Chains A and B, each alone.
Chain A
Amino acid sequence: MNDELTDRLSRQLHDQVDGWHDTPLTLEGVQGRARTIRRRRRAMTSGVVAAAVLAVAVPAGIGLSSRTDSTPDFTNPSPTEAVEEQPSAIGLPYLEGRTLVLPSGEERQLPGRYDGAVVLGDTVLAVAQDRETGEARLVHEDGSEVPLATTTLATNSDASAVAYVRADDHVVVESFDGAVFDLGEQRANLSPVSLVGGPDCSAPGSCAVWVNRGEGGFEVVQNGGPRVEPPPGVKVQDVATDGRVSVVTRAEPIDGGSCSAVFDGVATDADSCTLTYGRFSPDGAHLSAGPADEDGAGASFVAILQADGEEVVRFEPGRGGFVFSSTWEDSTHLLVTTYDYEKGWSVVRLGTDGTREVVLGPRPRGDDVTPAYGVLGPTG
């Protein structure tokens, strides 16, 4: 029935474009776009700032929310059994548009859309970035703001304090009770990855902030005490509570090939050039990992490794999909934010025993760069 119409349609489509033989795009232009895409993805997936929604300027002086009496318990995430009865809930706070959803189920409406947030006790600190200027700022509930050098934040193991880099390149630790500890001015282009110690950083040696340098390499910013010597590598991924360090030891700037290792002091517990190591589970027994070569559309899988580097679980999204980020929910569950070109964004709970369930979504909105859900926790 459609033969004539489809023939006409086919002819017309060809007539419309068959005269087009121009090749205006250059390799240099494509490489530049590729670098931009890579920078954007790295910015969106680094640190605790996992949410990626269009930032809207927050009116100064407007609080993030009304105070509530509930205090999210980060040290004791919701039991798995309870979560399975309500699969839309997760044991970490997350952002969905302007709504911050806490593990208790409490929802707080934020006055604007943020690039991320961290919850310290019952206080919310949000991060907003101006899309035009690139300037970032940390917004407190009372409306006060701190200009930031980078959108990335790093919390300590019990989420009682957060480290960030101010626009004047001072590395700062802020505790849940509002105390601020300035670790001093550092070199430019640092991004915090992990805060060891705190929430009180007043005593020498009580806090150490692991930071990546923008030009490659990493270092440890301390408030005195015995000097921590970082292992060799080009990027630090995480620091376990027992002192082991997950490191990218080699990375190709464009094609994305890399090697990773876990260092325990000077010894290497595990290493790989087929996987990029990520974050340790809270108990340090497992490690998240992804492909060593970055995929153009995002990571093609996420894996859970044992401490010795042996892979025990792998999650690969459906056809055409990719892994955006992953965050440890507790010691035995990894929350994976993933995109499927047909279904949209989802968060999948991946167990160290191989179990998996979709806990948020799928939600068919947003493009493949701006996730519908921003799980708040150290991402890898």
Chain B
Amino acid sequence: MEVQPMGSTHALAGTGVTMAIGQSDRATGKDADFAAYMQARQASLLRTAYLLTGDRHTAEDLTQTAFAKLYLAWDKVRDQGSIDGYVRRIVVNEHNSLWRRAWKRRELSSDQLPEHPHHDDYDSGVGRELWDLVQTLPKKARAVVVLRYYEQLSEAETAEVLGISVGTVKSQASRALAALRDRAPETLNPNETSGEEDR
């Protein structure tokens, strides 16, 4: 994705994002760079956050926190040319934190009935079963699934984002897929239906 340049431009290392300079009289150079990056990457990061959380509002909160932490570290991360990886790592790890906080909240308010399931605009209704199954995966396994099969990261890249070994990525992915196969309805798992799997 590229930002349409306004005025002079320069490229951010490792992002493919071309930055516009001097877009705002008030903004500093840093703010202008950061704003351009945020504009270019926000929708993509929100999509990943949504796949991790399954909830739009939580995804927006997660993404805002990730951008805020990136903002604080902007100069250093930019100089290292690792912006995309850095902010993606924050999203994934913040999701783990949010998950724990949500768990604590549920524990503290166990006398309250759960809210009705939230269906948002992004539920197409097609393949809902598989999406529902993905949301039942443990958070680390789900992160591996999202990074591997949505972001299309390699095992090594996924390991880098999650701060775990490649072997752990492999085992998490294998277990996640096994769980999906076990739970998937027949229509989603034709191999198993035909009895050909692993033969």
Contacts and interface: CB of A to CB of B under 8 A. Distances in A.
Interface in A209-268: 254-257
Contact of A5 (B46, B89, B94, B180): B180
B149 A10 contact: yes
B177 A295 contact: no
B67 A16 contact: no
A13 B68 contact: no
* Interface secondary structure of A, over-half rule: loop
A295 B123 CA distance: 37
A81 interface: no
B89 A9 contact: no
A98 interface: no
A37 B121 CA distance: 31
Nearest to B99: A367
Interface in A18-34: 18-25, 27, 29-31, 33-34
Contact of A17 (B60, B122, B191): B122
Interface in B107-133: 121-124, 126-127, 130-131
B164 interface: yes
B30 interface: yes
Interface in B72-106: 72-77, 89-90, 93-94, 96-97, 100-101, 104
Interface in B24-75: 27, 30-31, 34-35, 38-39, 42-43, 46-47, 50-51, 60, 63-65, 67-75
B39 A23 contact: yes
A161 B149 CA distance: 59
Nearest to B39: A23
B130 A293 contact: no
B64 A4 contact: no
B73 A296 contact: yes
Contacts of A294: 72-73
Nearest to A15: B124
Contacts of A25: 38, 42, 46, 60, 63-64, 67
Contact of A295 (B76, B100, B190): B76
A16 B51 contact: yes
B124 to A, nearest CB: 6
Contact of A367 (B100, B134, B164): B100
Interface in A22-80: 22-25, 27, 29-31, 33-34, 36-38, 54
A254 B121 CA distance: 36
Contacts of A300: 76
A17 B89 CA distance: 20
B6 to A, nearest CB: 16
B72 A38 contact: yes
A340 interface: yes
A16 B90 contact: no
A30 B38 CA distance: 10
Contacts of A24: 60
B76 A30 contact: no
B24 to A, nearest CB: 9
Given A25-B67, A294-B72, A20 B97 contact: no
Contact of B72 (A1, A11, A14, A37): A37
B103 to A, nearest CB: 11
B75 A255 contact: yes
A295 B72 contact: yes
Contact of B134 (A9, A20, A255, A369): A9
A93 to B, nearest CB: 26
Contacts of B71: 30-31, 34, 254, 296
Nearest to B27: A27
Given A20-B43, A30-B38, A367 B97 contact: yes
A11 B127 CA distance: 9
A320 B97 contact: no
Which residue, A11, A19, A23, has most C-beta atoms of chain B within 10 A?
A23
A33 B65 contact: yes
Given A8-B127, A9-B134, A25-B67, A17 B50 contact: yes
A297 B72 CA distance: 8
Given A320-B93, A342-B164, A27 B38 contact: yes
12 contacts: A4-B191, A5-B189, A9-B130, A11-B127, A13-B134, A16-B131, A23-B39, A23-B43, A27-B38, A300-B76, A320-B89, A367-B100
Interface of B: 27, 30-31, 34-35, 38-39, 42-43, 46-47, 50-51, 60, 63-65, 67-77, 89-90, 93-94, 96-97, 100-101, 104, 121-124, 126-127, 130-131, 134, 145-146, 149-150, 152, 160, 162-164, 177, 180-181, 184, 188-191, 197-198
Given A15-B124, A20-B50, 10 more contacts: A2-B177, A4-B190, A10-B150, A17-B122, A22-B43, A25-B63, A295-B76, A300-B76, A342-B164, A367-B97
Instruction: Return the 9 tightest CB-CB contacts between A and B, nearest first.
Output: A367-B97, A296-B73, A296-B69, A33-B68, A296-B72, A17-B47, A320-B163, A34-B68, A13-B150
